[in-house]
């Protein structure tokens, strides 16, 4: 029981830390205008579907271990871990943005179905929990060991996007628009 | 209607660039370097006189940007093993040895300026990280083959 409580506290602390770092990442991006874009050909969708398998792929690391020194492989694994952790922060920050817009839209909606809302927020809670666990796994074991959990994490993200889109299409479109204009304004400041 | 028409022109310009120029190059690295070299460092606009004469300056720039994105995307998603092969191919097609390429690229890091403008930071970082690793592999291979070559030579 105590071990379970400790695990919950650790995961919640990690979730909190990741949230704080995501906020900082967002602030950095706003002040410098150089952080990751979210839409467009090399943006959000690309980041989710194409880039993530590459970051979490263990083949590269194994190949490097057979070809180069231990030092080079270690450096490469450290860099991949940093990339994977940043990837989680980016995904979290986008999902948080989506949920903020969904909350705003659902407040204005007169035909709101409480059961649907409960489902969405439960899914969001699961997403937060999974991202905390994933962050811990990557930090401790490296991205290659987290590949299976990443698949589940991506499924949750997809499910959340579908649910928010089905319940409040206008809210989802606003979120997508916000994400798009966010990227455009960043591109203009570059 | 107008945008559709424009899209058709861009597509035609893209096909022209691929068929006449890019398909004749060996490997995606040579293509990436070529496409990135057509971009102005200050304005980030692409220039290609021949293509601009055939179409318009704007359409040519869009077509080059499109090709640049495609080639970059292919290279980012390539496993490290494939990237090493691409680098070797690039070194061979540019009449330089892999060691020469490694030395120059480690110092100048020219691959950093080959990232398309609209690319988000994470894929760009993944690309740079993969190139650094691929260069390390090339260097390690060279170091392994050099003593072998020296011992095989009768003068040594």
Across the interface, do A76 and B129 touch by the CB < 8 Å criterion?
A: yes
Evaluate if pTM is beyond 0.95: no
Expressed as residue numbers, the domain containing A133 is: 36-189
A39, A72, A96, A184, B124 from A179: Cα distances, Å:
7, 37, 12, 9, 20
Across the interface, do A59 and B80 touch by the CB < 8 Å criterion?
A: yes
Q: Which of A22, A26, A35, A51 should we substitute to test contact with B (largest number of B Cβ atoms within 10 Å)?
A: A51
Asked if the structure places residue A127 within a domain, the reply is yes
Which ipTM did the prediction report? 0.81
Give the residue from chain B lying closest to A53, CA to CA: B77
Question: When comparing pLDDT for B75 and A102, which is higher?
Answer: B75
Across the interface, do B122 and A36 touch by the CB < 8 Å criterion?
A: yes
A117 in reach of chain B (CB within 8 A)? no
pLDDT at A89: 92
Asked if the structure places residue A8 within a domain, the reply is no
Instruction: Count how many domains chain A has.
Output: 1
Return d(Cα B156, Cα B153) in angstroms, integer.
Answer: 6
A84-137 pLDDT tens trace: 999 999 899 889 988 988 888 888 877 778 888 899 899 999 999 999 999 999
pLDDT at B124: 92
B36-74 pLDDT tens trace: 999 998 999 999 999 999 999 999 999 999 999 999 999
Asked if the structure places residue A5 within a domain, the reply is no
Distance from CA of A12 to the nearest CA of B (A): 26
Per-domain residue ranges for chain B? 2-145
Across the interface, do B119 and A76 touch by the CB < 8 Å criterion?
A: no
Residues 6+ apart with CB under 8 A from A69: B140
Report which listed range, A109-118, A151-160, B15-24, is most confident.
B15-24
């Amino acid at each position: 029981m105590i071990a379970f409580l400790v695990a919950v506290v650790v995961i919640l602390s990690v979730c909190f830390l990741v949230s704080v770092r995501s906020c900082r990442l967002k602030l950095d991006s706003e002040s410098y205008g150089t952080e990751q874009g979210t839409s467009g050909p090399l943006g959000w969708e690309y980041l989710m579907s194409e880039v993530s398998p590459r970051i979490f792929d263990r083949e590269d690391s194994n190949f490097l271990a057979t070809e180069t020194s231990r030092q080079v492989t270690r450096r490469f694994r450290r860099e991949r871990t940093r990339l994977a952790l940043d990837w989680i922060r980016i995904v979290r920050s986008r999902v948080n943005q989506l949920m903020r817009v969904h909350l705003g839209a659902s407040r204005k909606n007169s035909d709101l179905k409480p059961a649907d809302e409960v489902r969405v927020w439960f899914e969001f809670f699961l997403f937060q929990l999974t991202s905390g666990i994933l962050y811990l796994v990557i930090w401790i074991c490296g991205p290659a060991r987290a590949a299976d959990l990443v698949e589940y994490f991506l499924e949750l993200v997809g499910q959340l996007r579908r649910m928010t889109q089905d319940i409040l299409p206008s809210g989802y479109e606003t979120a997508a628009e916000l994400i798009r204009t966010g990227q455009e304004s960043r591109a203009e400041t570059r | 209607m107008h945008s559709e028409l424009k899209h058709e022109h861009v597509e035609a310009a893209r096909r022209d660039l691929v068929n006449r120029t890019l398909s004749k190059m060996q490997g995606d690295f040579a293509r990436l370097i070529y496409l990135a070299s057509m971009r102005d460092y200050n304005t980030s606009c692409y220039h290609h006189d021949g293509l601009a004469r055939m179409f318009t300056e704007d359409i040519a720039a869009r077509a080059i940007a499109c090709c640049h994105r495609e080639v970059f995307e292919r290279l980012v998603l390539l496993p490290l093993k494939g990237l090493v092969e691409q680098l070797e191919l690039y070194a061979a097609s540019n009449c330089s040895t892999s060691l020469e390429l490694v030395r120059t690229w480690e110092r100048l890091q020219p691959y950093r300026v080959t990232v398309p403008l609209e690319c988000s930071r994470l894929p760009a970082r993944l690309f740079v990280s993969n190139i650094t690793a691929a260069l390390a592999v090339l260097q390690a291979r060279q170091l392994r083959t050099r003593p072998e070559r020296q011992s095989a030579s009768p003068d040594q």
